């Protein structure tokens, strides 16, 4: 793994060399260096070294793009390019993204900042950049054809505006969107309040919700997919590849989520209740907030969730659509619940020696068994906790709350050590054994149709 510090040391040279290929020497002298990160680990918060002070966010499995100040303007350089993203250990996807990753780096600015963002296109087709949710001059809105021509391959455009409203935003292309967003082109944007004391929290996590359709064994997403995605991701990562959100007990925590997938996601926290304190339109006035443990985030929406992390533990945090907490292979599998597969298994193993019967008692056995998988794919559910398999994939992670975690420490503290007597326990069982009817489908019995349609269109 390359640390960000190491990467930044080498970034200047690598960036200039890479830039020279596509931009003229004159333009190159004017452009900020290209900073690129390929590591999928969550990076420490980026402390502002120039410009106005703010409380930085932490991007789950991502990073914040450094800037340079030039005549009072905050200048960033985004490079649209093909990237390889590790979705979780064991699977890599060939995506399109920015500065080495998908999603691209988070951009953090302060309310009132004049911002100039250079966008260089290294894709095989034209692109553009739309600054989702921002107040800006119409010509900076990044809609190809409508407000600007596309940025052709090898070309660089500059966007410039004043970050007017503090809040939570996103960026993504508004050019061949169906392809470019299905390929992972998107990023997070946070405009911090001018006064760092406004809406201050101790920890401020951000991530985008996105989804991919990648066949087991393949590397490139199918871009025509509308609903049948099989990899449901936070920042292009699936569990167990999603970092835990590490929190000191008693911290006030904010989690900002933007949804750039093609369906809504009810985001759910365990053990705490949160308030939605921010939406697409800015901060929610305190009088208009109510407590929730699940909030639905529709397509194109941003939400800021806030809570006091007072209960120590490893708390689940996930999308509540159960198919969204499973990985590839979860979809075209017929429901076999209650179906005796012994004979079927013998017959099929004659044809397919690796065939394994599954699902007779539910799908949990899938998480336990070591199924042979094609190269470059992930088990449907995985991840190990201290009590065994977590039986989750996709949009699932944890909020790990502990006493004594230092201010900017985001390292995984390991499994929660439960105080004695605070874990659910097994009770001595003196009940008679479970009796089931021997045969329910024979003469006059109940016929149970267990096989559901294979179509998976309803999310």
Task: Identify which range of 112-120, 317-325, 336-344, 384-392 contacts Cu ion by CB under 5 A.
Answer: 317-325
Q: How far is the CB of 259 from Cu ion (least distance, A)?
A: 9
- C-beta of residue 118 within 8 angstroms of C-beta of residue 127: no
Least distance (Å) between residue 392 CB and Cu ion = 12
Q: Which stretch binds Cu ion (CB under 5 A): 124-132, 285-293, 315-323, 406-414?
A: 315-323
CB 127 to Cu ion: min, Å = 27
C-beta separation of 325 from 394 below 8 A: yes
324 belongs to the binding site for Cu ion (CB under 5 A): yes
Distance CA 71, CA 389 (A): 55
Options 4, 46, 265, 318; binder of Cu ion; rule CB under 5 A: 265
Q: Is 393 exposed, middle or buried (0-12, 13-18, 19+ CB in 10 A)?
A: buried
Enumerate the β-bridge partners of residue 313.
Answer: 401
Which range binds Cu ion by CB under 5 A, 185-193, 300-308, 321-329, 445-453? Answer: 321-329
Task: List phi, psi (to 5°) of 323.
Answer: -70, -20
**Which residue from 360, 294, 373, 362 is spatially nearest to 327, judged by alpha carbons?**
373
Q: Which of 319, 336, 378, 399 binds Cu ion (CB under 5 A)?
A: 319
Of residues 298 and 448, the one with the C-beta less far from Cu ion: 298
Under rule CB under 5 A, residue 456 binds Cu ion: no
- Residue placing its CB nearer to Cu ion in the complex, 309 or 319: 319
Figure out which of the listed residues 289, 321, 331, 456 binds Cu ion, where binding follows CB under 5 A: 321
Q: Which CB atom, from 77 or from 318, has the smaller least distance to Cu ion?
A: 318
Size of the site for Cu ion (CB under 5 A): 4
Beta bridge partners of 64: 106
Here the tokens at position 329 are 């292979």
* HEC sequence for 191-237: EECCCCCCCCCCEEEEEEEEEECCCCCCCCCCCCCCCCCCEEEECCE
Query: Rounded to whole angstroms, how far apart are CA atoms 206 and 220?
Result: 26
Nearer to Cu ion, 117 or 269 (CB): 269
For the record, the structure tokens of 192 come out as 């911090």
| Candidate segments 12-20, 28-36, 265-273, 425-433, binder of Cu ion by CB under 5 A | 265-273
CA of residue 212 relative to chain centroid, distance: 11
How crowded is residue 5: how many other Cβ atoms within 10 Å of its Cβ? 9
Residues 208-247 that bind Cu ion (CB under 5 A): none
Whole-number minimum distance, CB 324 to Cu ion, in Å?
3
Stretch near Cu ion under the rule CB under 5 A, chosen from 80-88, 137-145, 193-201, 263-271: 263-271
Q: Closer to Cu ion by CB, 54 or 396: give it.
A: 396
Query: Can residue 303 be called a binding residue for Cu ion (CB under 5 A)?
Result: no
Residues in contact with Cu ion by CB under 5 A are 265, 319, 321, 324
């Amino acid at each position: 793994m390359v640390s960000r510090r190491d990467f930044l040391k080498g970034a200047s040279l690598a960036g200039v060399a890479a830039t020279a290929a596509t931009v003229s020497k004159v333009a190159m002298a004017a452009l900020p260096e290209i900073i690129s990160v390929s590591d999928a680990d969550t990076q420490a918060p980026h402390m502002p070294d120039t410009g106005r002070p703010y409380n930085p966010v932490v991007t789950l499995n991502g990073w914040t793009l450094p800037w340079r100040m030039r005549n009072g303007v905050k200048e960033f350089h985004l490079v649209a390019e093909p990237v390889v993203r590790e979705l979780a250990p064991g699977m890599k996807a060939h995506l399109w993204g920015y500065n080495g990753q998908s999603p691209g780096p988070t951009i953090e600015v302060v309310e009132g900042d004049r911002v100039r963002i250079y966008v260089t296109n290294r894709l095989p087709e034209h692109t553009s950049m739309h600054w989702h949710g921002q107040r800006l001059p119409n010509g900076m809105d990044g809609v190809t054809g409508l407000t600007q021509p596309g940025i052709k391959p090898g070309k660089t455009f500059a966007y410039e505006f004043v970050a007017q409203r503090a809040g939570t935003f996103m960026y993504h292309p508004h050019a061949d969107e169906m392809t470019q967003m299905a390929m992972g082109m998107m990023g997070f944007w946070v405009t911090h309040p001018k006064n760092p004391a406004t809406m201050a929290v101790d920890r401020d996590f951000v991530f985008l919700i996105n989804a991919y359709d990648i066949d087991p064994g393949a590397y490139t997403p199918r871009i025509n997919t509308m609903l049948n995605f099989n990899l449901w991701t936070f920042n292009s990562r699936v569990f167990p590849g999603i970092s835990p959100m590490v929190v000191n007990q008693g911290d006030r925590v904010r989690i900002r989520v933007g949804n750039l997938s093609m369906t809504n996601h009810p985001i759910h926290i365990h053990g705490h209740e949160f308030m939605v304190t921010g939406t697409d339109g800015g901060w929610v006035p305190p009088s208009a907030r109510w407590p929730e443990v699940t909030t639905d985030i529709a397509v194109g929406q941003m939400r800021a969730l806030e809570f006091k992390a007072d209960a120590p533990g490893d708390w689940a945090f996930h999308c509540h659509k159960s198919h969204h907490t499973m990985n590839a292979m979860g979809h075209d599998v017929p429901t076999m619940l209650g179906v005796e597969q012994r004979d079927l298994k013998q017959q099929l193993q004659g044809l397919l020696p690796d065939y394994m019967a599954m699902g007779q008692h539910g799908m949990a056995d899938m998480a336990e068994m070591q199924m042979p998988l094609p190269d470059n794919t992930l088990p449907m559910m995985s991840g190990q906790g201290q009590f065994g398999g977590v039986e989750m994939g996709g949009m699932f992670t944890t909020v790990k709350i502990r006493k004594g975690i230092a201010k900017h420490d985001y390292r995984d503290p390991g499994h929660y050590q439960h105080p004695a007597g605070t874990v659910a326990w097994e009770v001595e069982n003196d009940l008679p054994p479970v009796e089931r009817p021997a045969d329910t489908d024979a003469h006059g019995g109940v016929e149970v149709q267990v096989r559901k349609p294979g179509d998976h269109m309803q999310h």
